[in-house]
Structure 1
Amino acid sequence: MWTAAFWGLVAGASLLLGGLLGLYAPASRRVVALIMALGSGVLVSSVAFDLMDEAYGAAGLDAAAGGLLLGAAAFFLGDLAINRAGGLHRKRSGGQQAQGSAPAIVLGTLMDGIPESVAIGVSLLAGGKVGWVFVAAVFLSNIPESLSASVGLKRAGHAPRQILLLWTAIALASAAAAGLGFALLRGADPNLTSGIQAFAAGAILTMLSSTMLPEAFEEGGPAIGLATTVGFLLAFSLRHLG
């Protein structure tokens, strides 16, 4: 459990790193968009080969497909509710958060990160060790997300201390989610663990396609497609070479 929590914290700690960069060393929006696209490509590859492949191998297509669709539906409905409550622009860098709700922004940001953390804990159950490529993918994708959001939150009038406390709290919640994901599912039926693994995959894919990639394209233009493909190839190559 503590190993899972540690790796969840490692992946989530990049939120704080991205927040620091956004507040004190902000990059151009185009650079942030390209990094976001690269991280998205890495995550897509990891979801396919580290989560779905393992879920299918352990429990077959029914559990993998069912979990994937349920995860996608759960994130879609949760994201819809968060957006309507004022969290629509939680990842934007232009200060649009001033028009939203602070609690909704916090809940939305937490919702974005929890599926990734649970997947880290469940991957220990499935394979006996953490998939370091998946952890690296989560780590990389978190940096531009919190960097962009921190710039926007600062422009919306939030104090840097509050922003950094937010990312610290979410990093700790990520560690707790990874640890609990391992502890609560230890000894569970493979169909259940595989279904939850696929559930996390569905939530992550829906998050990428509905938030990260559209926002990256808006700021980075057509080059985002190339950056996403490079990220996918990077994760694919590292997984097979490793």
Structure 2
Amino acid sequence: MMASLWFGLIASSALVIGALIGVRFELPKRLLAILLSFAAGSLITALAFELFEDAYQQGGIVRAAVGLLAGAIVFTALSAFLDRLAQPGRTSKSKPADEVQGSPKLDTDAAASDRAATSASTRGAAGMALLAAVTLDGVPENVALGISLEEGSGGLALLAAIFVSNFPEALVGASSMRSQGRKAGSIMLLWSVCAVLLVAAVVLGAGPLSSAEPATISLPLAFAAGAVIASLADTLMPEAYEHGGPAVALSTAAGFVLSFTLSLV
């Protein structure tokens, strides 16, 4: 149990660190894109070797596939809702594909030193939407982390992936809230509460869920994998490429290699 608590604290500390930097500093746009793409590469390893593979081994391909599709559908639907919340007037149907920008909730302009924040950020909607998205995506991921620890499968790759994905999202979200004029203490409190919730999810995965039947464990693992895939396609990769260009391919590869190396430990 102590191991799960420590892993949860390490994974969720990225939220607090990212939020702290977000309320105090502004970073270059390209650096933010590199951080996002590095996180995407790490998550690819985690979902393939820590989440979906375990889900398949625990419950078979049908249960794993159903759980994955459910996670992807739920995340995509809620992500679309959060995008509308972050920028109510935004519609992509009337725009050509090459003019559609990244997800409004992940407004990296708010955290960049070389761009002005969007209207969604100055209203604070983007920051709150991103906080909700991190919680939605993070709960199944952290439950899966707890389960992997209790099973003795290590979980280092998943831990690294969660950490490096939490950091830029919290940084951007806190910056968006700062652009609205929220006080630093209020911003830090919101992200700290989110961090505590995700620590509890790790403990839950290592505790009550660890003794469940393998077929039961398969579902949250696959659901988390589906949520990760959806977040990669919906938010992280498009946003990273939009602001970082082709160079983000290298940082994505670096994230994958690091996470895969950790999965071998």
User: What's the TM-score once normalised by structure 2's chain length?
Assistant: 0.82
Q: 2:108 aligns to what?
A: 93
Q: Hey, what's the Cα distance between the residues in 1 that align with 2:24 and 2:132?
A: 25
Q: Is the 8 A contact 1:19 1:167 kept in 2?
A: yes
Q: Secondary structure at the match of 2:106?
A: coil
Deviations 1:49-77 (A, max 9, x none): 11112222222211221111111111112
CA contact (8 A) 1:90 1:109 kept: no
Alignment size in residue pairs: 240
Structure 1 residue 23: Cα displacement? 2.5
Name the counterpart of 2:21.
Answer: 21
Of the candidates 175, 178, 188, which is equivalent to residue 154 of structure 1?
178
**How far has the Cα of 1:107 moved from its partner?**
2.6
Query: Which residue is equivalent to 1:6?
Result: 6
Give the residue type in structure 2 aligned to 1:170.
C
Pick from 111, 123, 138 the counterpart of residue 162 of structure 2: 138
Higher mean displacement: 198-207 or 176-185: 176-185
Contact 2:157 2:263 in 1 (8 A): yes
Task: Flag the structure with higher helix content.
Answer: 1
Describe the shift of the 1:85–1:149 C-alpha distance in structure 2 as closer, same or farther (beyond 3 A): closer
Q: Quick one: which of 121, 134, 138 aligns to 2:146?
A: 121
In 1, distance between residues paired with 2:245 and 2:128?
31
Which one of 227, 230, 234 corresponds to residue 254 of structure 2? 230
Q: Which runs of 5+ in 2 are unaligned?
A: 88-102, 110-116
Which of 238, 241, 245 is equivalent to 1:214?
238
Instruction: Provide the TM-score with structure 1 as the length reference.
Output: 0.89
Contact 2:124 2:176 in 1 (8 A): no
Q: Distance in 2 between matches of 1:181 and 1:224?
A: 33
**1:108-160 residue CA offsets vs partner (Å, 9 max, x unmatched):** 332232222122122234x2354112101111121111122222221222222
- The residue that corresponds to 2:92 in the other structure is none
8 Å CA contact retained: 2:39, 2:164? yes
Which runs of structure 1 show a deviation greater than 6 angstroms over 4 or more consecutive aligned residues? none
CA distance in 1, matches of 2:249, 2:12: 26
Change (3 A) 1:131 1:184: same
CA contact (8 A) 2:21 2:171 kept: yes
Three-state SS of the structure 1 residue aligned to 2:207 is helix
Aligned residues of 2:154 and 2:263 also touching (Cα < 8 A): no
Equivalent-residue separation in structure 2 for 1:213 and 1:4 (angstroms):
29
- Among candidates 101, 125, 135, match of residue 110 of structure 1: 135
CA-atom RMSD in angstroms = 2.1
Q: Map residues 76-87 of structure 1 onto 2, 5 A cutoff.
A: 76-86=76-86
In structure 2, distance between residues paired with 1:221 and 1:103: 27
Cα gap change, 1:142/1:105 in structure 2, threshold over 3 Å: closer, same or farther?
closer
- Judge conservation of contact 1:93–1:150 (CA < 8 Å) in 2: no
Equivalence for 2:112: none
**Identity within the alignment, %:** 35
Separation in structure 2 between the aligned mates of residue 161 and residue 49 of structure 1, nearest angstrom:
38
Q: CA deviation at 1:205?
A: 1.4
Amino acid at match of 1:32: L
Partner of 2:48: 48
**Native 8 Å contact 2:128 2:173 kept in 1:** no
| Cα pair 2:10 2:163 within 8 Å, conserved | yes
